[in-house]
Amino acid sequence: MTDFKGAAQSWSLVAFFSVVTLTLLLCVVTGPDRDDLDEFYTGYRFLSPLRNGLAIAGDYISAATVLTVGGIIALCGYDGVVLALSTLLSLLLLMFLLAEPLHHTGRFTMGDVLARRMPGRAVRITACAVTLAALVPMMVVQLAGVGQLLAYVLGFSDSTMRTACVVGAGALMITYAALGGMRGTALIQILKTVILLGSGLVVAALILHTFGWSPPTLFRTAARNSGAGHNYLRYGLQFAGGRHPALDMVSTQCAIVLGGASLPHVTMRMYTAGSTRQVRRAMSWAVSAVALFIAVMTVVAVGATALIGAKTITAADPRGSTAYLLGARAAFGTDLSRPESLLFTTVTTAIFLTLLASVASMTLACANSLAHDIAARPDTPPLREMALARLSALAVGIPVIGLAVLAQHRSLQPLAILSFCLGASAIAPALLYSLFWRRYTRAGLLATLIGGTVSVLVLLPGTGLVSGTPQSAFPDADFNWFPFTTTALVSVPAGFLCGLVATVLSRRRSGARARNRYEAIEPVLLAGPAYPKNG
Amino acid sequence: MSADSSELHPLRHRPARHASPIPPSSPSAPHGNSNWRSVRARSWTGPHRDLRLLRRACRRQRRVAALVALGYFAVFLTLTVALPSVMTAPALGGLPAGLCLALVQLPVTWLAVLFYEYTARRHVDPLARRVRHQTPHPRDEQVRP
């Protein structure tokens, strides 16, 4: 019931190739056609709020979310649902707190927003370094996931084939980012969100239909088949082996809520909207789309446990990353008719597209930051800066492919957690402080970015995700000294505190200047630029 | 590198353009040399007043929205971790209360988004429009900082 043989497999292969061809075509056709920086970096703000919202949702629902969170919901029940909810809350907070100020003050990258407040090369270089540090691990997770997914769906177990898949997907991601720019990747994201939501809704409806449209029956059956009984419906399964399960759970939620939406590939979509109202409306669509997807994912993942049992899910993958696919497959029953196998192929294609699209957006965010914040000078001609951005996509992409090939046989969870923790401990405090605190100084900003990053990088290797347990990335070694799974409980306060202390210490020297500068940009920050951004 | 100071001149103070019930400098205000700056910043005219109103409206909206969203989740998480007995009590359809509270968050999120859009359009946008129109002439914003 859970194997992908025969028709489904060949359908999937055909679908994957058509998706690759179609998306490449989209990128070439819609890519920037003039030597205009605005067009490459923001796609001329051409998207209507609905489309922009779908693109934001597409950026936000990365493959790590679908596969990892889907697996945790299927295996741990309640804990996974809470994790999915904190993902949604993160986007909601981005909409309420940061979306409009970011749109008003930013131009292309996070470096632009920070440098608006504190101009200087040091700020831009640090911003770019933190962007890379936060996104590269996430890209490695997604790319290594491509290998796993294709190996699973297409049914090969050969290690060389897997590596070839990773390299091929990596080459595709560089092409998308370099050819398509912001507009090309936005279209791919829209396509992906629509396919993912559409196919997911059908599967969720089928699963609910199986259980008589009664969620309580669904959850009770899942609890019975999960092997954990009533514990499936209460907190504690995910961190059962930890030393402090309660604090561990709070720490993880904290990292997701603060870090999820402040990652640069999500915030960069704020700059592509035309006006304040458009950015607000786009975020409304994005939050609605993500909320819908979380509902779908919960039903499909819980349905997977209810229909085939937790044992089958862990047999396919110990962390349950294939739970979403297994749930979709089980929803169609044992024998697939032709329309059913077509529908199931749509689900696998949606996941494949999710992997490709999210990694392409992250490459674009890294490349933009490298080109715009570090390589280009104020007097660099636009044509040259665009060439630099395309070269940067290559410069980021190739090491990422190498890392993904190295990491594909290890646990990828620490890398994903590293990204979220960096977002929560360095990027979120820096953005919040510099947009809302008028006394914040440049020393404070640098201290926040560097202090937050360093605290995560120091603490994370000591967690149980990296070593010491059978599920960790290095199961043979044991240098596990940090008692929690994620570092957020310590590193988020550290990031905020570094900024606070450095600002207080440097206030005498540069406090008045910082305040004047904030007052100068405050009208733009609150009300937006005096005329709509071009577009 | 830091060549963008040109675009960031502070708002010019132009009291004549906006009628205000309160005269630009109240005669009773102390005009000591020590605090002339704060008196000027607090004058009740034109752009400064609009900006202050906008600042207050934005701040209020942001605070309420973020506190409600974060607050709900924080209470939910605290209950989950600290009082498991409350969250495992059976509720609707025999599901534990915690799971019901979790699933309810999806529609609540949607309502929160609608409410946010409504209040922003009602209370913040008009003020923002006024401040935008008073901003000194469009500066060359597209110059790279």
pLDDT of residue A92: 96
Does residue B3 sit within a domain? no
pLDDT of residue A6: 67
| Alpha-carbon gap, residue B133 to A529, rounded angstroms | 10
> Residue A121 and residue B65: Cβ atoms within 8 Å?
no
pLDDT of residue A3: 53
At which residue do the structure tokens 């990491």 appear?
A407
Task: Collect all residues of chain A within an 8 Å Cβ-Cβ radius of residue B82.
Answer: 246
What is the CB-side half-sphere exposure of residue A48 using CA atoms within 13 A? 2
Give the sign of the dihedral formed by CA A149, CA A155, CA A156, CA A161.
Answer: negative
| Alpha-carbon gap, residue B98 to A234, rounded angstroms | 7
Does residue B102 sit within a domain? yes
pLDDT of residue A365: 95
Tell me A232's DSSP state. Answer: G
Residues near A415 by Cβ (< 8 Å), separated by ≥ 6? A137, A138, A140, A141, A407
Cα distance between the two ends of chain A:
52
Chain B contacts in chain A segment 384-423 (CB below 8 A): none
Task: Catalogue all structural domains in chain A, each as residue range(s) with its CATH number.
Answer: 7-527 (1.20.1730.10)
pLDDT of residue A494: 96
What is the CB-side half-sphere exposure of residue A239 using CA atoms within 13 A? 23
Does residue B93 sit within a domain? yes
Minimal Cβ distance to A119: which of B66, B139, B145: B145
Does residue B130 sit within a domain? yes
pLDDT, tens digit only, all 145 positions of chain B: 334 443 444 444 444 444 444 444 444 444 444 444 444 444 455 668 888 899 999 999 999 999 999 999 999 999 988 888 888 888 877 788 888 989 899 999 999 999 999 999 999 999 998 888 876 644 444 434 4
Does residue B110 sit within a domain? yes
pLDDT of residue A156: 77
Is this prediction's ipTM beyond 0.85? yes
Mean pLDDT by 10 residues, chain A (535 residues): 62 87 88 74 78 94 89 93 94 95 91 91 95 95 86 81 90 90 89 95 95 92 90 85 86 94 93 88 96 96 94 88 91 81 89 90 94 88 88 94 91 92 96 93 95 96 86 86 91 96 90 88 85 51
pLDDT of residue A273: 83
pLDDT of residue A287: 96
Interface test with B, best of A85, A94, A238 (most B CBs within 10 A): A85
**Using an 8 Å Cβ cutoff, are A519 and A526 in contact?**
no
pLDDT of residue A534: 45
Does residue B82 sit within a domain? yes
Q: Is A381 on the interface with B (CB under 8 A)?
A: no
> Residue A284 and residue B113: Cβ atoms within 8 Å?
yes
Does residue B38 sit within a domain? no
Q: Distances from the Cα of A494 to the Cαs of A282, A421, A440, A488, B144, in angstroms?
A: 33, 12, 16, 9, 32
**The tokens of A84 are what?**
């999915």
Which residue type occupies A335?
D
Q: Which residue of A has its CA nearest to B64?
A: A96
The total of other beta-carbon atoms located within 10 Å of residue B120's CB is: 20
Q: Is A240 on the interface with B (CB under 8 A)?
A: no
Domain of residue B85, residue span: 54-135
Task: Give the rounded distance of the alpha carbon of A198 from its chain centre.
Answer: 20
Task: Collect all residues of chain A within an 8 Å Cβ-Cβ radius of residue B91.
Answer: none
| Alpha-carbon gap, residue A242 to A159, rounded angstroms | 33
Does residue B141 sit within a domain? no
Task: Collect all residues of chain A within an 8 Å Cβ-Cβ radius of residue B84.
Answer: 234-236
Q: Give burial (CB, 10 Å; 0-12/13-18/19+) of B72.
A: middle
Number of domains composing chain B: 1
Q: Is A125 on the interface with B (CB under 8 A)?
A: no
The total of other beta-carbon atoms located within 10 Å of residue B31's CB is: 9
Interface test with A, best of B88, B109, B111, B117 (most A CBs within 10 A): B109
